[in-house]
Amino acid sequence: MSDKRLQRPVRVLDSLPMLIVCIAVVSVLYAVCLLRIASNNAMRYMIQIFLYITMGQMWNLLSGFAGMTSLGQQLYIGLAGYSVAIATAKLHLTLGVGLVMSVAVSVVVALVLSLLLFRMEGMYFSIATWVVAEAFEKLFLSWKYVEQGSGLTIRVVPYPKIEEICAVSLTVCVMSIAVVYLLLRTRTGLGLTAMRDNLTAASAVGVNVFNHKLLVYVIAAAFTAVSAGIFFVNKGIVYPESGFGISWTVSMIFIVTIGGSGTVSGPITGAVIYVFLQELLAHYPGWSNIILGAITILVIFFLPKGIMGTLQEKLRFEIFSAKRFSFAKHK
């Protein structure tokens, strides 16, 4: 029976050697950016990957770890895009200030919305988050100050070099992974997982559900915002539809599902695959969503834990384990 499997412990690769490997990988990536080893084109992909990892990581933190499946993270993407645009084009501030502003705006909005959103659970929470994002889209569509539907240009002078954007994206990405990882390994992480598995039971054993949710929600808003801010610098213009559109959530769901929901390494894998797949599918216009959809469905049927989740189960190791103790998993 499965007894033999049970006795084999899960190897948790998060000790000193793992740390050294991580630092080495990150240093190499920084070197590739800053020393311009990679071509401009390669660097554009890297930026996209870093930013999608951050967004995926945050969506995973919400959905995979805390059980708050949001369909409305694009709210913070749109707010960030507009913050950067208003800061640079309207107020003539620097990009740095713009990014700080985007985080500040998102955190404030997240704090206010939490009062409303956290009254709901499960499905209702998901729908409400989406509705809020749509409401903001409608608001920006009819708001004269942000040029309504014709969009707002981002005017960054001097325009940052691509290697700078790349390095900043990498920093944000590394920070997001570190924050999620560290958060999960504190008592808070334990509380979050308990909440995801059974909300009532979690509050019964003394988990302050509201505070936990708030912490996660605000962190997710902040990181999603800053990565979106950088994204829009690259794009140069933000429209209500491009900022607050549901397609952002489509990407996040894809990245997390493919990579493996509830694992820290999942969104990293998922984001890399997503960016390359998008590039590949650009040659087959019209087919891209059909193929993304088919892949999602196939993964759900055949690799229900995503690529990293399944790999970890098969090979019995965990990178960036969220567990503070390593138990052999049942099943």
Partner 1 sequence: MSEALLDIENLSAGYGDFSAVNEVNMKVEKGQIISLIGLNGSGKTTLINTVAGLHRSSSGRVRFKDSDITNLSAEKIVSKGLSLVPQGGRCFNRMSVQDNLLMGSFPKAARKKSKETLCRVYELFPDLKEMRKRPAGTLSGGQRQMAAIGRALMACPDCLIFDEISLGLSPAVIKDIYRRIIKINQEENTSVILIEQDTQRALKASDSFYIMLKGKIVLSGKSSEIDSETLRKAYFGI
Partner 2 sequence: MYFVQILVNGILLGSVYALLGVGMTMIFGIVKLTNLAHGEFVVLGAYLSTVLAPMLGVDPVVTLIITVPLMFLSGFLLQYFFIGKAMKKGAEPALLVTFGLSIILQDAMLMIFSADAQHIVASYSMSTIKIGELEISVLHLVLFAISVVSISTLTLFLRSTHTGRAIRATADDSDAAALSGVNVNRVYAIAMGIAMASAAVAGLCVGMKWTYYPSSGGGYLLISFVVVVIGGMGSVPGTMIAGVLFGLAQVIGGANYGLLISYVMLLAVLVIKPKGIFGK
Which residues contact partner 1 by CB under 8 A?
1-2, 6, 330-331
Which residue, 1 or 205, has its beta carbon nearer to partner 1?
A: 1
Per DSSP (E only), the strands in the chain are 11-13, 152-153, 237-238, 317-319
Residue 161 DSSP label: P
CA torsion, ordered 240, 241, 242, 243, to nearest 10 deg: 50
Identify the CA nearest to 247 among candidates 85, 137, 139. Answer: 137
Sole residue written with tokens 């309504």: 148
Q: Shortest approach of partner 1 to residue 330 CB, angstroms?
A: 6
Q: Which of 124, 159, 210, 276 binds partner 2 (CB under 8 A)?
A: 124
Cα–Cα distance measured from residue 259 to residue 261, given in angstroms and rounded to the nearest whole number: 7
Q: How do beta strands 237-238 and 317-319 pair?
A: unpaired
Min separation Cβ 316 and partner 1, Å: 16
Interface of this chain with partner 2, residues 279 to 308, rule: CB under 8 A: 286-290, 292-294, 296-297, 300-301, 304
Rounded Cα–Cα distance for residues 303 and 306 (Å): 5
Question: Residue 239 and residue 148: Cα distance in Å, rounded?
Answer: 8
Nearer to partner 1, 187 or 330 (CB): 330
Q: How far is the CB of 303 from partner 2 (least distance, A)?
A: 11
Subset of 243-262 contacting partner 2 (CB under 8 A): 246, 250, 253, 257, 261
Q: Is 19 one of the binding residues for partner 2 (CB under 8 A)? A: no
Query: Counting Cβ atoms within 10 Å, is residue 93 exposed (0-12), middle (13-18) or buried (19+)?
Result: middle
Site for partner 2 in 56-115 (CB under 8 A): 69
Least distance between partner 2 and beta carbon 177 (Å) = 23
Q: Which of 247, 246, 271, 276 is nearest to 258 (CA)?
A: 271
Minimum distance from CB of 288 to partner 2 (Å)? 7
Residue 181 token pair:
């990882």
227 vs 261 by CB, closer to partner 2: 261
Site stretch for partner 2 (CB under 8 A), options 137-145, 168-176, 200-208, 264-272: 137-145
Q: State the minimum distance, in angstroms, from the CB of residue 294 to partner 1.
A: 31
Query: How many angstroms separate the CA atoms of 174 and 158, rounded?
Result: 26
Binding residues for partner 2, rule: CB under 8 A, are: 69, 116, 119-121, 123-124, 126-128, 130-132, 134-135, 138-139, 142, 246, 250, 253, 257, 261, 286-290, 292-294, 296-297, 300-301, 304
